[in-house]
Amino acid sequence: MRLLLSLLLAVSSLPVAAAPQLDKLSLPKGFHIAVYSDQVPNAREIALGAKGTVFVGSNDAGKVYALTDTNGDGHADKVRVIASGLELPVGVAFKNGDLYVSAVSRIYVLRDIEQHLDNPPKPVVVTDKLPRETAHGWRFIAFGPDGKLYVPIGAPCNICDPGPAHAKLTRMNADGTDIEDVARGIRNTVGFDWQPGTGHLWFTDNGRDLMGDDMPSDELNEIARPGEHFGYPYCHQGDTLDPEFGKGKSCKDYVPPVLKLGAHVASLGMRFYEGKQFPPSYRGAIIIAEHGSWNRTRKSGYRVMSVRLKGNKVLSYEPLVTGFEQNESAWGRPADVQPLPDGSVLVSDDLAGAVYRVTYKP
Angle at 245 between CA 241 and CA 250, to 5 degrees: 40
Which pLDDT tens digit goes with each residue over 39-92? 999 999 999 999 999 999 998 889 999 999 999 999 999 999 999 999 999 999
β-pairing verdict for 54-58 and 43-48 = antiparallel
| pLDDT > 60? residue 1 | no
The mean predicted confidence, pLDDT, of the chain is 94
d(CA 40, CA 119): 19
**Count of domains in the chain?**
1
Residue 199 covered by a domain:
yes
**For position 235, which CATH number holds?**
2.120.10.30
- Residue 15 DSSP code: P
Q: Do 240 and 231 touch, CB atoms closer than 8 A? A: no
Mean pLDDT of all residues in 15-27: 82
Q: Do 314 and 16 touch, CB atoms closer than 8 A? A: no
Residue 56 covered by a domain:
yes
So what's the pLDDT on residue 18?
64
Burial label for 307, CB within 10 Å (0-12, 13-18, 19+), is buried
Domain around 142: 29-360
Residue 275 covered by a domain:
yes
Which pLDDT tens digit goes with each residue over 245-263? 999 999 999 999 999 999 9
Residue 247 dihedral angles phi and psi, to the nearest 5°: -60, 125
Residue 97 covered by a domain:
yes
Q: How many residues does the chain have?
A: 362
Residue 15 covered by a domain:
no
Residue 10 covered by a domain:
no
- Quickly count helices (H) and strands (E) in the chain: 1, 28
What pTM does this model have?
0.94
| pLDDT > 80? residue 9 | no
Residue 5 dihedral angles phi and psi, to the nearest 5°: -60, -45
**CB burial string 186-201: b at 16+ within 10 A, e below:** bbbbbbbbbbeeeeeb
Residue 313 covered by a domain:
yes
**Alpha helix (H) ranges present in the chain?**
2-12
Residue 18 covered by a domain:
no
So what's the pLDDT on residue 94?
98
Q: What percent of the chain has pLDDT over 70?
A: 95
Which pLDDT tens digit goes with each residue over 304-344? 999 999 999 999 999 999 999 999 999 999 999 999 999 99
Nearest to 280 by CA among 338, 336, 360: 360
